């Protein structure tokens, strides 16, 4: 066996626990939250990037932890893994050193979540830290927990056979190595380091309300949604409404964490973040109903609320800190 074999906790309480508006953000955020929690680190401290989200014309910016922030806060270094040999061989070499291998895989073969297992080919990501090749078994972080796979699922993860001829896995899958190089920040030092990191994303925040830009593009989005029907809706919702709502729920949790650690932020800013999260969910439900019923819904009142609430989030936070964080 490669890896330490210790029992991994399931579900990071700081972000995946409780009753969130959005149960998942995206494959990158969900994976890192669980990995950091598995290492008994505080993932909330690494959320300053959320203030930079913008509307990119067809979608909202995909939330992701900047590698430099992970290194600054937790001493974690990530770099691409060259796969010149069998993938299984590379994963064994890294996990025996206590490292984690981040691997892009076909979600069709991942036992979790059970409602998607062997039903749909989706781009997904896992963090492997335990490998038992003699048993064809692997342990990995994925989604909102820690899971295992064996048998045909193990073979599919490591591209050992043509499990699904209709779907061609890339010959050289994208893989990264995650290793802990330095001790992580903790306590007051972690809070101070996180606040220091907030300087850069606040300086790089959108200078115009991204909801206004989204509002201008939305009539075209709605037309396409109604033309393409239900099969296209989930993909659209994940890239647009979930990215928007989940990002501001993350920002709200970050601001709440700062308040709990002595930063006297105005309650209104955090409340506006959660309004953004919940209103994006309302808009998603309304659009789903519109697509199913074939009755277009322009969602003008949702867009009104989102546009107004945004002004109470990132711009208000920048005004509070006066462009700098101390």
Q: What is the pLDDT of residues 263-273, one digit of tens each?
A: 999 999 999 99
301 vs 142, which has greater pLDDT? Answer: 301
Q: What percent of the chain has pLDDT over 70?
A: 87
d(CA 141, CA 187): 26
Instruction: Locate the domains of the chain by residue range.
Output: 27-40+76-180, 188-321
Closest by CA position to 104, among listed 74, 137, 80: 80
Q: What is the mean pLDDT of the chain?
A: 89
CA triple 245-250-254, angle to 5 deg: 145
Give me 17's structure tokens.
Answer: 């626990």
d(CA 186, CA 16): 21
Q: Residue 222 burial by CB count (10 A; 0-12/13-18/19+): exposed, middle or buried?
A: middle
Tokens 């209709």, located at residue = 166
CA distances from 156 to 87, 91, 119, 120, 160 (A): 11, 14, 15, 14, 6
Of the listed ranges 21-30, 55-64, 72-81, 164-173, the least confidently predicted one is 164-173
């Amino acid at each position: 066996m490669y890896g330490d074999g210790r029992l991994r906790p399931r579900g990071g309480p700081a972000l995946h626990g409780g009753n969130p508006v959005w149960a998942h953000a995206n494959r990158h955020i969900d994976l890192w939250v669980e990995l950091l929690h598995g290492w008994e680190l505080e993932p909330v401290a690494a959320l300053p990037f959320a203030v930079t989200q913008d509307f990119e014309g067809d979608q909202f910016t995909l939330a992701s932890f900047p590698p430099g922030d992970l290194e600054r806060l937790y001493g974690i270094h990530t770099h691409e893994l060259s796969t010149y040999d069998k993938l299984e061989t590379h994963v064994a070499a890294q996990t025996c050193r206590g490292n984690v291998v981040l691997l892009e895989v076909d979600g069709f073969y991942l036992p979790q979540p059970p409602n998607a297992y062997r039903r749909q080919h989706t781009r997904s990501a896992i963090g492997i830290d335990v490998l038992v090749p003699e048993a064809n078994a692997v342990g990995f972080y994925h989604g909102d927990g820690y899971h295992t796979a064996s048998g045909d699922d193990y073979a599919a993860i490591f591209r050992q056979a043509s499990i699904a001829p209709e779907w061609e896995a890339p010959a050289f899958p994208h893989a990264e190595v995650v290793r802990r190089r330095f001790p992580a920040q903790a306590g007051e030092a972690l809070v101070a380091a996180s606040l220091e990191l907030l300087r850069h994303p606040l300086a790089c925040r959108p200078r115009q309300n991204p909801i206004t830009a989204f509002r201008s593009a939305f009539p075209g989005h709605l037309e396409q949604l109604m033309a393409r029907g239900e099969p296209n809706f989930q993909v659209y919702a994940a890239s647009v409404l979930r990215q928007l709502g989940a990002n501001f729920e993350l920002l709200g949790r970050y601001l709440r964490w700062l308040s709990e650690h002595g930063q006297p932020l105005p309650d209104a800013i955090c409340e506006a973040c959660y309004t953004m999260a919940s209103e994006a969910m309302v808009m998603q439900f309304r659009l789903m109903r519109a697509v199913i019923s074939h009755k277009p819904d322009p969602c003008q009142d949702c867009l009104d609320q989102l546009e107004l609430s945004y002004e109470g989030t990132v711009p208000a936070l920048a005004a509070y800190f006066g462009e700098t964080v101390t």
